[in-house]
Copies of this chain bind each other. A is one copy, B any other.
Amino acid sequence: MIIAPRSLGVTDIVPLALGSTVLGTGGGGDPYIGRLMAQQAIRECGPVTLVDPDDVPADAFVFLVGMMGAPAIMVEKLPSGKEVLEVIDVLSKNLGRKITHIGCLEAGGINAMIPIAAAARTGLPLIDADGMGRAFPELQMLLPSLDGINATPLALIDEKGNHLVLETKSNRTAEGIARGVVVEMGATATMAFYPLTGTQVRSSLVPRTFSLAYRVGLGLLQARKDHQDPVAAVATQIGGRVIFTGKVVDVMRRNVGGFHRGQASFDGTGAWSGRSLAMDFQNEFLMAKIDGATAITTPDLICIVDAQSGEPLTAEQVRYGQRLSVIGSPCYPRWRSEEGLRTVGPSYFGYDEPYSAFIA
């Protein structure tokens, strides 16, 4: 099994960014901007050491870092790269303790790249893991929440340097308050949260997500080079299957309450000719119905890629007329537990139907 290189250089970021965008299931922000941020940091500060979670010492001290807000707006308010260093400093100062490793909150486009940039600029090792095994829209939707780990103290900073440290009794409360702050900060902010020990890293993160992203990205690039089907390569590497291919015939979207919400409709082509798919998203793709019947729902992974090139798309990149393939893939098993489904299952997002596990 391919794992990501233990020292990440500029060129390694290309497959990592591609694969993370697939795992981002429509969310996690613009992969192009994230890739440039990570590559620039490595160019300026040198390669990043990637460590397996099993090799993180028990007394390590880790923050998960990334951005919060509406991904469509991250493209308009480019982070400078220094926000993440400042927000780590703010939280370290609050806790009176320096971190030893950088952690990744979600395997989404920009949110997989920011920890790489942070690791390059701080010189700290990056842990080959993330909090979700995909991307989700809210900050309590990380595996550590299932283990009762507090997401706070949490630090947030905007591009002007305005910042805060929040402490709440529950992670749902932290989400509500932080979301309100992010809206006031102009719909995006950079964040450090979930202070974790090395022991907690091993018990409560999804292991080897960067390695998975690397394999997915590499598979995609290799298939293109070999004139194989890149869509099939992505589906194979992510451990899923193509559930639909079609043309986008309608997209509705709006930025509301600090989220990018909407629906997209597809008319089938090829094997799916005459059929239709309806996709809901809230930053991430939440649910796909084919001819009115639920085909796959959160927390299983719903990925959209270009039907020809296999290039993954975020929800805000989906446009009328595009020919796209939808890939489904089972989520990390712990999300299928009762507590996992209460946190990220269809009922949390207001759907009135039970979760049915997607089979690849």
What residues of chain A have their CB less than 8 Å away from a CB belonging to chain B?
94, 160-169, 173-174, 176-177, 179-181, 183-185
Contact = CB atoms under 8 A, between A and B. Distances in A.
A316 to B, nearest CB: 23
Q: How many copies does the complex hold?
A: 2
A160 B168 CA distance: 9
Contacts of A174: 162
Contact of A165 (B160, B164, B181): B164
A160 B180 CA distance: 18
21 contacts: A94-B94, A94-B165, A160-B169, A160-B173, A162-B166, A162-B167, A162-B168, A162-B169, A162-B173, A162-B174, A163-B166, A163-B167, A164-B167, A164-B177, A165-B165, A176-B184, A177-B184, A177-B185, A180-B181, A180-B184, A181-B181
A153 to B, nearest CB: 9
A258 to B, nearest CB: 10
Nearest to A157: B167
Contacts of A183: 180
5 closest pairs, A vs B, by CB?
A180-B184, A180-B180, A164-B166, A162-B168, A177-B184
A180 B164 CA distance: 13
A165 B162 CA distance: 11
A166 B179 CA distance: 15
A268 to B, nearest CB: 42
A49 B160 CA distance: 41
A24 to B, nearest CB: 26
A161 B166 contact: no
A150 to B, nearest CB: 11
Q: Name, among A176, A179, A180, A183, the residue most crowded by chain B CB atoms within 10 Å (CB to CB).
A: A180
Contacts of A160: 169, 173
B184 A179 contact: yes
Given A162-B174, A177-B181, A181-B181, 6 more contacts: A94-B94, A164-B166, A164-B177, A177-B184, A180-B181, A180-B184
